[in-house]
């Protein structure tokens, strides 16, 4: 049954409409169907039963309907249909027309349809046609008709062709997620033959960022219907970006087709992260050290992060003083670089600030720059952190420079110099601690500068108080002297201060040195001696004798009833003394002889290197 007219109609009230229906049986059977009407206002459905019976009296088609099935989509298929005269008499076919709506059929024999044909009783006429789908995108179903007239009736021979399209299915959407640059992630994709035909997979291609590692079958390979192969694909990003690509499978048999599947992934680079660009220590006592920390995060879950170098300097920092800062870290406890931070871990870098600077209110601020140079997979980076702290002025000596005029060698300066020591106010010393000074020394200690007052140590310095230190010099040679006054203190914490610089000089008297007994000394020197033992008495010079070669004459007197002089030794006998005027080298020697004035006369001949820091000879006595 076939509707010939429109498939919709408007019916006026109390009106009617005719619906033309054509009955065209293909065999001698009874056919039943229903014509259903869908009313669009009240949404009702009414149906009319249709029935008809086909009879074979004039013509019979062989086959009844020419069904050309499963023609390869890129190929063609021949088929034959015949019109058989079963009427008992000769029949004439007129107005023959080949209706080919989709153009997918081609007449092979005859190559064209005549307008009129005659078929004797019992004879037939056959038509050979080629069905050419020519469409690899989808399975097709195409119809064609051979229409003619006979004895005033309309006749139709039906032809139906269907195609079989080879299809390749590739896993449609595969996401690899976020992968670090330098790392890889693998997944298995499926290439499947979803058609009814065997197909040959010739090759596979894939886009940038992805690599085909292996296939479950060696290519080319034949996939039967519903058969498949597995493809292992690796995602290896090389930059921070999103990668979109396709896995494409190519086939040339039975048709040239391809199947594609989308892949996506994102590459990222996890660099060194540090949240601090400034570290402030505030006020710190010079006898203490303060610590601050910064975190270095390795955000990568796969790769180590290398700290290639870490250093503190004053680059770009006016007045920077990096020497008062140091560092250590969790993964480098001794501060040695390079070192490694494992994946997903953080390194705690500890910065140590020890502001043992001179007690000068104009230079209490100490600042520098911390540099961290790190690298990892596909990246390298340098971070900078500004670090600053202040030295608390626990106490402040003044003046910072003490200058003595040149004085006579071995003579105490007649005029002293003074240094005031006080605890500054809250602006530069917020803690206002009590200070206990234990002693005062000089570095280097040439035994030239002396503290005359205070004479009692330790002493305490309270906030608001001031203590005066009296200094004198006694030169030991005609030269310049320079030393740092070292103030040792135990509170508020153990430490020392070298802010004050002391300078002086000595000159020799015109007629040499004058020797005399120390008449001020109350008690004579006493040497304890054990019977049958040896008494060693060292002899020093009170000054440095800076001549290149010198002879020393002296007399040793002692109680000869109690002591006997064994001899005299000298650490300077091994010296080789060269005269700066004549260039002659002399060998030192010691000569002993009885003195007409009593005791022993000693001559140290050709000596050099005599100073006041060590004995130039040693006397040895026995009982």
- Sheet containing strand 77-85, strands side by side: 59-62, 77-85, 124-131, 105-109
Strand (E) or helix (H) holding 480: strand 480-491
Q: What pLDDT is stored for residue 591 in this prediction?
A: 95
Q: Compute the distance between CA of residue 258 and CA of residue 252 in angstroms, rounded to an integer.
A: 9
**Domain layout of the chain by residue ranges:** 2-53, 59-164, 168-268, 272-391, 396-507, 534-622
Between CA 357 and CA 458 the distance in angstroms is: 23
Residue 162 has pLDDT above 90, yes or no: yes
Encode pLDDT of 286-296 as tens digits. Answer: 999 999 999 99
- Could you read off the pLDDT of 478-496 as tens digits, one per residue? 889 999 999 999 999 999 9
Q: What is the CATH number of domain 272-391?
A: 2.60.40.10
Length of the chain: 623
Q: How far apart are CA 175 and CA 195, in angstroms?
A: 26
pLDDT value, residue 511? 45
Q: Are 608 and 522 in contact (CB under 8 A)?
A: no
Q: Is the pTM of this model over 0.75?
A: no
Name the pLDDT band for 283 (thresholds 50, 70, 90). very high
Tell me: pLDDT of 53 over 80.
yes
Among all chains, which residue has been given the structure tokens 């800076």? 546
CB burial string 41-73: b at 16+ within 10 A, e below: eeeeeeeeeeeeeeeeebbbbeebebebeebbb
The sign of the dihedral angle between the CA atoms of 314, 317, 323, 325 is negative
Tokens, residue 615: 């004995």
For residue range 536-564, what is the model confidence (pLDDT) as tens digits? 888 888 777 877 888 888 899 988 888 89
Mean pLDDT of 607-623: 89
Here the tokens at position 544 are: 């440095």
Given a cut of 70, whether residue 405 has pLDDT beyond it is yes
Which residue bears the tokens 């002659």?
Answer: 584
Q: What angle do CA 143, 52, 82 make, to 5 degrees?
A: 40
Categorize the per-residue pLDDT at 581 as very low, low, confident or very high, splitting at 50, 70 and 90.
low
For the stretch 504-548, pLDDT in tens is 998 866 544 545 555 566 666 677 777 778 888 888 887 778 778
What pLDDT is recorded for position 549? 86
Range name among 15-24, 94-103, 189-198, 451-460 with the lowest pLDDT average: 15-24
Segment among 344-353, 384-393, 426-435, 518-527 with least mean pLDDT:
518-527
Give mean pLDDT, residues 212-235: 95
CATH superfamily to which 396-507 belongs = Immunoglobulins (2.60.40.10)
Predicted local confidence at residue 229, as pLDDT: 95
418 pLDDT higher than 80:
yes
Q: Tokens 């997944």 appear where? A: 187
Decide whether 59-164 matches 272-391 in CATH topology: yes
73-82, 384-393, 523-532, 593-602: least confidently modelled range:
523-532
Across the range 498-509, mean pLDDT stands at 88
DSSP output for 65-90: SEEEEEEETTS-EEEEEEEEE-SSS-
Sequential DSSP letters for 299-326: --SSS-EEEEEEEEE-TT-TT--GGGEE
Query: What is the structure's pLDDT at 27?
Result: 81
CATH architecture of 168-268: Sandwich (2.60)
Q: Tell me what pLDDT residue 522 has.
A: 63
SS3 state of residue 419: strand
User: What letter does residue 210 receive in the DSSP assignment?
Assistant: E
- The confidence score (pLDDT) of residue 546 equals 74
* Mean model confidence pLDDT for the chain: 90
Buried b (16+ CB within 10 A) or exposed e, 193-207: bbbebebbbeebebe
**Tell me, what's the pLDDT at 521?**
61
What integer pLDDT is reported at residue 611 of this predicted model?
84
CATH topology of domain 59-164: Immunoglobulin-like (2.60.40)
Q: Give tens-digit pLDDT for 562-577.
A: 889 999 999 999 999 9
Do 163 and 173 touch, CB atoms closer than 8 A? no
- Please compute the mean of the pLDDT values over residues 377-402 and round it to a whole number: 92
pLDDT in tens, 57-91: 889 999 999 999 999 999 999 999 999 999 889 99
- The DSSP secondary-structure symbol of 610 reads B
Q: Read out DSSP for 548-585?
A: SSEEEEEEE---TTT-EEEEEE-TTTT--EE-TTT--E
């Amino acid at each position: 049954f076939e509707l010939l007219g429109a498939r919709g109609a408007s019916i006026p009230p109390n009106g009617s409409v005719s619906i033309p229906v054509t009955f065209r049986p293909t065999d001698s059977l009874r056919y039943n169907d229903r014509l259903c009407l869908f009313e669009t206002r009240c949404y009702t459905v009414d149906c009319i039963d249709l029935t008809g019976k086909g009879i074979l009296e004039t013509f019979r088609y062989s086959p009844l309907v020419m069904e050309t099935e499963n023609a390869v989509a890129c190929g063609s298929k021949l088929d034959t249909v015949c019109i058989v005269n079963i009427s008992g008499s000769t029949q004439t076919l007129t107005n023959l027309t080949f209706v080919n709506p989709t153009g997918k059929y081609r007449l092979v024999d005859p190559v064209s349809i005549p307008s009129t044909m005659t078929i004797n009783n019992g004879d037939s006429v056959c038509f050979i046609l080629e069905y050419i789908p020519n469409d690899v995108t989808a399975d097709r179903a195409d119809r064609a008709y051979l229409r003619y007239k006979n004895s005033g009736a309309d006749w139709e021979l039906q032809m139906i062709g269907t195609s079989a399209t080879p299809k390749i299915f590739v896993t449609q959407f595969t996401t690899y997620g976020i992968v670090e640059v330098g790392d890889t992630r693998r997944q298995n994709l499926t290439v499947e033959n979803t058609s009814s035909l065997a197909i040959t997979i010739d090759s596979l291609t894939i886009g940038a960022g992805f690599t085909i590692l292996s296939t479950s079958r060696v290519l080319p390979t034949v996939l039967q219907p519903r058969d498949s192969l597995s493809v292992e694909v690796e995602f290896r990003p090389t930059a921070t970006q999103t990668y979109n690509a396709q896995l494409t499978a190519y086939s040339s048999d039975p048709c040239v087709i391809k199947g594609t599947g989308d892949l996506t992934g994102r590459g990222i680079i996890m660099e060194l992260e540090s949240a601090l660009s400034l570290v402030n220590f505030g006020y710190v006592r010079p006898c203490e050290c303060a610590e601050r920390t910064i975190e270095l995060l390795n955000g990568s879950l796969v790769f180590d992060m290398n700290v290639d170098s870490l250093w503190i300097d004053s680059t770009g920092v006016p007045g920077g003083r990096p020497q008062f800062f140091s560092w250590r870290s969790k993964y480098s406890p001794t501060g040695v670089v390079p070192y490694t931070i494992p994946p997903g871990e953080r390194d705690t870098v500890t910065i140590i600030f020890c502001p043992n600077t001179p007690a000068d209110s104009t230079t209490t601020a100490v600042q520098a720059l911390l540099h961290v140079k790190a690298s990892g997979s596909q990246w390298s980076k340098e971070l900078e952190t500004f670090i600053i702290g202040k030295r608390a002025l626990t106490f402040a000596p003044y003046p910072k420079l003490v200058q003595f005029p040149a004085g006579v060698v071995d003579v105490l300066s007649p005029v002293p110099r003074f240094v005031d020591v006080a605890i500054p106010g809250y602006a530069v010393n917020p803690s206002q601690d009590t200070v206990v000074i234990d002693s005062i020394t000089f570095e280097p200690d040439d035994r030239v500068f002396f503290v005359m007052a205070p004479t009692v140590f330790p002493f305490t310095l309270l906030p608001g108080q001031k203590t005066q230190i009296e200094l004198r010099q006694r030169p030991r040679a005609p030269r310049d002297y320079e030393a740092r006054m070292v103030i040792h203190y135990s509170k508020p914490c153990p430490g020392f201060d070298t802010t004050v610089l002391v300078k002086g000089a000595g000159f020799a008297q015109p007629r040499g040195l004058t020797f005399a007994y120390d008449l001020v000394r109350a008690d004579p020197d006493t040497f304890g001696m054990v019977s049958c033992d040896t008494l060693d008495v060292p002899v020093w010079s009170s000054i440095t004798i800076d001549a290149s070669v010198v002879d020393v004459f002296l007399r040793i007197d002692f109680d000869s009833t109690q002591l006997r002089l064994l001899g005299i030794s000298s650490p300077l006998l091994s010296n080789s003394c060269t005269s700066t005027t004549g260039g002659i080298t002399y060998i030192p020697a010691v000569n002993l002889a009885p003195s007409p004035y009593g005791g022993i006369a000693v001559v140290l001949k050709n000596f050099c290197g005599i100073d006041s820091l060590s004995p130039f000879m040693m006397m040895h006595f026995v009982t």
